[in-house]
Amino acid sequence: MFWKKAPATATATREPSPVPGNGNGSGEDAALDALASLLKTFGDNAFDTDNVTALETRSECDGWAQRITMGGGKSGEGEEGKGATVFKRDFPGVRRYFTAQRLHEREFVGRSLGNLRQAVHAFARCLTTTVGEDRAADERVGSQLGKLIGAFQSNDSTAIRYEAESVVAVVQEVMAKRSESQKRMLGELSQKISELREELQEVREKAALDPLTQLFNRAALDAHLDRVADLAFLLSSSPCILMIDIDHFKRINDTYGHPAGDDVLRRVADALVRNFLRREDFVARYGGEEFVVVIPDSTLHNAELRAERVLQSISELEISTDKGKVQVTVSIGLSSLSSGDTGKSWLARADAALYEAKGSGRNCVRVARETGSAVVSVAPPRSMSPGPRSFPIRSGS
């Protein structure tokens, strides 16, 4: 028996009090023994919850079993003798404790199973996505996952464990069969990456182009000038720069409109490309109505001849607008790379030569010496007469 009665003496302080209305002592003992055994069994099979450990529950149950069997405190004097002590067994208290603890455990288990169900559903979605390529395998995995989810709905721990093990076995089998498929997918992925790399290169090239003329833009020009300047001294080459400005471009915009001005820019750009067809030649729009051509290896004399052909070619353009035909000429500054030049200083000397060309009446070429002064003059084509002299206003002139 879980509890042991104290000796039957008149002054015993731990003697169990009679159960009211029960005249059979052996029946009372059996009932108390059964209740104590239930409390002990409950405590021995306790488990940790979110705020009570299994050890704490076991200790509480043992305490209640002792209070039930041995009595829990004085309730007053006895009826038959003065000074006799009667101990009260707290049956309502043990009932409240047992009920509260059982409800708490039920709520805890319910919450835990609910969280586990959500995890299983998330696991199912993840697996379905992972193995979604093979439909036959998907059906097997999906069927097994359905069984696992059904087991969670029943709260049967044995079934849950069995179905979970089955899911693992099916997934392992599916993934083993997927090795060749995954190799194929990796090959396709590699091909896709190569295609994306090519597309990225195209995007980079487009980013280096001027959207109106489809020539290289200013950023691409700056980078190219530095590369050419660095390589020229290593390769012992003699690159040249032509800086080209459309004469009186602001007047064209004001007279014929900006759409006509855009058309002039495109036509001049096309003419430059036609005159510099070699792959190594670099034609860029510097900004506004200015263009730059980089000739990577040429004598200064040959560069002058090519600049003269540019003057002739552009002067022969026929550009029609709603307000009549536009006659276009350009001014050109030419500079060869000198010892100690950077891309920036090289371009600055070509710009100074262009300034001289515009100050000399436009529609002509001026060549910059190493000192920066422009000395060589190329006469305009015979079919053209020099434009009126004016102050060399750069932008919009």
List, for residues 346-374, the tens digit of each pLDDT value: 999 999 999 999 999 999 999 997 654 44
The pLDDT-based confidence of 307 (bands split at 50, 70, 90) is very high
- Predicted confidence at residue 136, as pLDDT, reads 61
> Under a CB-based contact definition with an 8 Å cutoff, are residues 208 and 220 in contact?
yes
Phi, psi of 393 (to 5 degrees): -80, 125
- Predicted confidence at residue 182, as pLDDT, reads 66
The pLDDT-based confidence of 129 (bands split at 50, 70, 90) is low
Kindly tell me if the per-residue pLDDT of 19 is higher than 50. Answer: no
Task: Determine the Cα–Cα distance for residues 27 and 315; give it in Å rounded to an integer.
Answer: 128
> Under a CB-based contact definition with an 8 Å cutoff, are residues 17 and 88 in contact?
yes
Could you tell me whether strands 85-87 and 330-336 are parallel, antiparallel, or unpaired per DSSP bridges? unpaired
Alpha helices in the chain (DSSP H): 25-44, 54-70, 91-130, 135-154, 157-177, 179-207, 218-235, 249-256, 258-275, 300-315, 343-359
> Under a CB-based contact definition with an 8 Å cutoff, are residues 327 and 279 in contact?
no
- Predicted confidence at residue 81, as pLDDT, reads 45
Which of 56-65, 96-105, 122-131 has the least mean pLDDT?
122-131
Task: Determine the Cα–Cα distance for residues 285 and 249; give it in Å rounded to an integer.
Answer: 15
Mean pLDDT is highest, among 46-60, 293-307, 365-379, for 293-307
Q: Transcribe 242-301 into DSSP letters.
A: EEEEETTHHHHHHHH-HHHHHHHHHHHHHHHHHH--STT-EEEEEETTEEEEEESS--HH
Percentage of the chain lying above the pLDDT 70 cut = 65
Q: Which two tokens mark 159? A: 């079934």
Domain boundaries, the chain: 212-378
Kindly tell me if the per-residue pLDDT of 226 is higher than 70. Answer: yes
The residue assigned the tokens 């036959």 is 136
Q: Which two tokens mark 364? A: 């002509």
Q: How far is CA 139 from the centre of its chain?
A: 33
Query: Can you give the pTM of this predicted structure?
Result: 0.47
Could you tell me whether strands 324-326 and 365-368 are parallel, antiparallel, or unpaired per DSSP bridges? unpaired
Task: Determine the Cα–Cα distance for residues 272 and 215; give it in Å rounded to an integer.
Answer: 10
Average pLDDT, the chain: 75
- Predicted confidence at residue 199, as pLDDT, reads 63
Higher local confidence (pLDDT), 352 or 88: 352
Mean pLDDT of 18-46: 71
Q: Which two tokens mark 323? A: 């307000």
| In this structure, CATH architecture of domain 212-378 | 2-Layer Sandwich (3.30)
Kindly tell me if the per-residue pLDDT of 256 is higher than 80. Answer: yes
Quick check: helix, strand or coil at residue 51? coil
Mean pLDDT is highest, among 96-105, 171-180, 227-236, 357-366, for 357-366
> Under a CB-based contact definition with an 8 Å cutoff, are residues 275 and 215 in contact?
no
Kindly tell me if the per-residue pLDDT of 291 is higher than 90. Answer: yes
Kindly tell me if the per-residue pLDDT of 161 is higher than 60. Answer: yes
> Under a CB-based contact definition with an 8 Å cutoff, are residues 225 and 335 in contact?
no
Which of the residues are catalytic? 289
Q: How far is CA 234 from the centre of its chain?
A: 43
Mean pLDDT of 236-240: 87
The pLDDT-based confidence of 283 (bands split at 50, 70, 90) is very high
The pLDDT-based confidence of 123 (bands split at 50, 70, 90) is low
First vs last C-alpha separation in the chain? 117
Q: Transcribe 316-351 into DSSP letters.
A: T--EEETTEEE---EEEEEEE--TT--HHHHHHHHH
The pLDDT-based confidence of 263 (bands split at 50, 70, 90) is very high
- Predicted confidence at residue 193, as pLDDT, reads 66
| Nearest residue to 350 (alpha-carbon basis) of 234, 233, 245 | 245
Which of 7-21, 76-90, 155-169 has the least mean pLDDT?
7-21
Task: Determine the Cα–Cα distance for residues 44 and 36; give it in Å rounded to an integer.
Answer: 12
Kindly tell me if the per-residue pLDDT of 219 is higher than 50. Answer: yes
> Under a CB-based contact definition with an 8 Å cutoff, are residues 341 and 277 in contact?
no
Kindly tell me if the per-residue pLDDT of 55 is higher than 50. Answer: yes
The pLDDT-based confidence of 268 (bands split at 50, 70, 90) is very high
Task: Determine the Cα–Cα distance for residues 395 and 119; give it in Å rounded to an integer.
Answer: 69
Higher local confidence (pLDDT), 150 or 302: 302
Model confidence pLDDT, tens digit, residues 313-330: 999 998 998 888 999 999
